[in-house]
Chain A
Amino acid sequence: MMAFASGDDAAFDAIVNRFERQVYGVIQRYLGNSGHSSQAEDCAQEVFIRLYRMRKSYKPTARLSTLVYRIASNLCINVLRDETRRRGVALDAPCALDGSPLGATIADSAAVSAEEAFSARERAEIVRKALAAIPDRQRAALILHRFEGLSYNDIADALETNVDAVKSLLSRARASFADALKRDLDAGNI
């Protein structure tokens, strides 16, 4: 990391190789996309560019992984939220970040009879849309905890808050997610 801070390109290359999965994974989950997403790739690119530009101010007392997750979370929460606003998608309307109406999806899926089997792909899509519907910081906390395996302390570092706030975020995130999924859970769709 010190080599990277001093401008060593080979060190930066190693960092990209090491964190590409985590960065792309966080963004992809946050966006609620499936398959290859050029938007997620563009955002992942931006994370590493921001990391590169911050290299001179990097303090060796901070873990590199914390910094990477912090940049990725910040990008997801702030930049992607601003882009959603510019596209005219209401923040309080339940929808995935690609603009597709979540409410319609859940209503449609709930209309399917309990006897009809949902394929794994369809169930994953329901879950993906529900995850995309919960508020920004709650979603980021949930993804970091559940998919990246970060502790509450690490999540607090990544989101630049404290552990008590993370506990509250995750509690609300799980509640929001449960509420978004309840109809499909009760209907036996997932």
Chain B
Amino acid sequence: MDCEHTGRLAAWLDGELTAAETAALDAHVAQCSACRERAVLLRRTYAALEMLEPVEVPEGLAARVRARTRRRLHKAPVYVAGALAAAAVFLMALTLRSPAVDPGRHVTASTAATSSVRLAAYYDVALEEVRMLEDMQLLHEYDVLADLELLAIYDMLLDMDEFTGVMSI
């Protein structure tokens, strides 16, 4: 039978209660068989975790991570033409819903970046949330975005202050 205090036993065992709470629960556990039984089970399960072997980091992991990170992020410019076009279509699909956008207007690098700001304003969300689009369900359902590398292209779009090309939509 569960006692109303069993939910606090984990914090009690972890030493995360205040001194007063700990003293109170000490006194309670001494008198409550349900809590004592539960505490024994919790201690045994924590002891069971000690049976797990230490995790051994594979040799050379850091070097592989560094190399692959550089390859993933630095090869993004190779896809500028096609990937920017795809990303631009994606942004266009969103921005054309905004009454402030003129479809016939040439979109420059700076205005494409500004589109993120307008998106945020239009949808009344924080700019940071727009920049977290990689976590949106929309992206998971958008086939071309199944490739996480395209998300690196999206980062480039956000950094388009350095890009001087002009796109025409």
Contacts and interface: CB of A to CB of B under 8 A. Distances in A.
A is bound by B: yes
A28 interface: yes
A25 to B, nearest CB: 4
A45 B57 contact: no
A41 B29 CA distance: 44
Given A78-B135, A170-B10, A124 B51 contact: yes
A13 B41 contact: no
Given A44-B65, A170-B14, A49 B51 contact: no
User: Interface size class for chain A?
Assistant: 35 or more
Interface in A163-190: 167-168, 170-171, 173-175, 177-178, 181-182, 185, 190
B11 A41 contact: no
A124 B52 contact: yes
A69 interface: no
Given A171-B9, A171-B11, A127 B49 contact: yes
Contacts of A137: none
Interface string B49-79: 1011101111001101110111011000000
A82 B52 contact: no
Given A21-B57, A123-B51, A53 B62 contact: no
Given A46-B148, A171-B9, A178-B45, A13 B53 contact: no
B126 to A, nearest CB: 12
A102 interface: no
B140 to A, nearest CB: 7
Number of chain B interface residues as a range: 35 or more
B102 interface: no
B61 A41 contact: yes
B163 interface: no
Contacts of B140: 82
Contacts of A41: 58, 61, 64
A171 B7 contact: yes
Interface string A21-45: 1001100110000101000010011
A17 interface: yes
Interface centre among B51, B52, B65 (most CB of A within 10 A): B65
B65 A16 contact: yes
Given A12-B66, A24-B61, A174 B46 contact: yes
Interface of A: 9, 12-13, 16-17, 20-21, 24-25, 28-29, 34, 36, 41, 44-46, 48-49, 52-53, 57, 78, 82, 120, 123-124, 127-128, 130-131, 145-147, 152, 167-168, 170-171, 173-175, 177-178, 181-182, 185, 190
